[in-house]
Amino acid sequence: MTLYLKYRPQSLEELDSQVVRESLQKIVASGKIPHAFLFSGPKGIGKTSAARILAKIVNCESKKAPCNKCEQCITISKGTNLDVIELDAASNRGIEDVRNLRDAVKLSPAKARKKVYIIDEAHMLTTEAANALLKTLEEPPEHVMFILATTNPEKLVETIRSRTTNITFSKAKPEELLRSLQRVVKGEKLKIDKDAFSLISKAAAGSFRDAVKLVEQIMLEKVKTDAKSVEEFLFRKKMFSAEGFLEILHRKDAKTAIEEVEKVSESGVGMETFLEEILEVLRAELLAKVGVGESGESAFSKEELIQLVTLFSQAARELSGSLLEQIPVELAIISWCEGKDRLQSQSIHLDLNSPAAKGGTDPTSSHLDSASSGVREHATAPIAQGLKEISEEVWRNILAAVKPRNTSIEALLRAAKPIGYDGKVLTLGVFYRFHKERLEDGGNRRILEEVVEVIFGAPVRIVCTLTEPPAKKTETPPVTGGETVLTEGEDKDIIKVAEEIFGN
């Protein structure tokens, strides 16, 4: 068993996050424990541990809960309790999964007083599934408790957030990490210098899990636990320097920068971690430019820092939707080193007389068109005039803009139509369940929202709902070229394209 699991908190008193510990202690002491919680915050800070502790508290057989000795407490700690169900929303995200859950909650617990559903990464639920879950949260049986955990609470529908008790988990403070590590060190009978503790805490970047993993690696690799030895170990493990990488970007050396990314990837470091460190350094340098924080020297101007933050933030948003996670990072590097604004280079010229809008030539020619700098002004004109509905012209512009970014999304959109726009939310009526589920996929939805934001000139949230397909056209043949309106005769072709790309 890894040290993190071996020494994970087993009671509220052992929770290392002070704010979370005190909040939950007050709720439990009140005797009125809510039926639904929302635990939100970064990975590795104890959301699942806190959820299990709550499950033990409501089911413990002792008067002083949790006792961690009764059958309920022991089985919950081991993850074998039949009445404490842990679900990963990334794998159980569909409407059918939630319908099965809604049927299951009606059944009484097998042995415990309450059935506790711990739903991890709850923001991954499709909109339809989230709405179905909402009905259960509104009128839950007395014997049921829900604990939703998420790293992205803003992606959950507002009505779910409003019906849960929200506990915010922040990144661990140095003193909280020290408290967590001391429990491990004491249990394993280790001796670690105080300065070494500080080095480990800093390297863990606010994650209890990562801090304990570092201690475990130090043990396994038999690293001396004095500050100097630990510092050398962490330096070797770090694999890359954000500051050194930014120096390469300052030289606009695309080849070397991409080679560094490849080295990082081959070493096992994820692009999410890589980008997080790069963005932390860029943010600190940018804030220093406006007088916030330490005024360290930066080789970049304020405008350059803003552009780099924009490029790498965009890359971070695209990671989950990329087949190879290095690609968004590499595109950001190339865009920067070529001196182009990536947001502009990803947009296409939306003139309806252009080849891309008519479907006549390779869309990448428009994708890289030097006139792309005028896209935002050209595309937002209909919206800037205050329209609260989407005209056919605007819808064609959206389809034309999506195509060079992702042809499969454009194919899916041909089985949809805009049915509502309130200035913030664009509602799409989708003709088939298959298409709707694919459009609601996190990566696909994000790409679509980014394209629409460029066209509308403001952030827009996409919501999909099933609607009846249009009647089959029989009197006139379909228009070729730039026509984007779905006809019944195209249905099979569209489904075939989508299935080939996304799988059956």
Boundary residue ending a domain (286, 321, 344): 344
The pLDDT of residue 375 is above 50: no
- CATH number of the domain where residue 221 is located: 1.10.8
- What's the CA dihedral at 169, 170, 175, 180 to 10 degrees? 40
Tokens 């299990």 correspond to 52
Residues 415 and 448 in one domain: yes
Residues 154 and 19 in one domain: yes
> What are the residues whose beta carbons fall under 8 Å from the beta carbon of 59, sequence distance 6 or more?
72, 73, 76, 81, 83, 84, 112, 113, 114, 116
Least confident of 68-72, 348-352, 429-433: 348-352
Q: How many domains is the chain partitioned into structurally? A: 4
Say if CB 37 and CB 54 are below 8 A apart.
Answer: yes
Position 475 confidence tier, pLDDT thresholds 50, 70, 90? very low
Closest CA to 439 of 427, 422, 423: 427
- CATH number of the domain where residue 101 is located: 3.40.50.300
Range of the domain at 137: 3-168
- CATH number of the domain where residue 297 is located: 1.20.272.10
Q: Tell me the average pLDDT of the chain.
A: 80
Residues 115 and 74 in one domain: yes
Boundary residue ending a domain (323, 344, 365): 344
Residues 130 and 229 in one domain: no
Residues 248 and 234 in one domain: no
Residues 152 and 55 in one domain: yes
pTM of the model: 0.53
- CATH number of the domain where residue 404 is located: 3.30.300.180
Residues 264 and 295 in one domain: yes
Residues 158 and 264 in one domain: no
Residues 10 and 148 in one domain: yes
The pLDDT of residue 208 is above 80: yes
Q: What is the pLDDT of residues 259-290, one digit of tens each?
A: 988 887 776 567 887 888 899 889 888 888 88
Residues 401 and 327 in one domain: no
Position 12 confidence tier, pLDDT thresholds 50, 70, 90? very high
Residues 57 and 13 in one domain: yes
Structural domain includes residue 53: yes
Structural domain includes residue 349: no
Residues 432 and 477 in one domain: yes
Separation of alpha carbons 230 and 194, rounded Å: 11
Structural domain includes residue 287: yes
Could you list the beta-strand ranges (E) of 246-326: none
Burial class (CB in 10 A: 0-12, 13-18, 19+), 318: buried
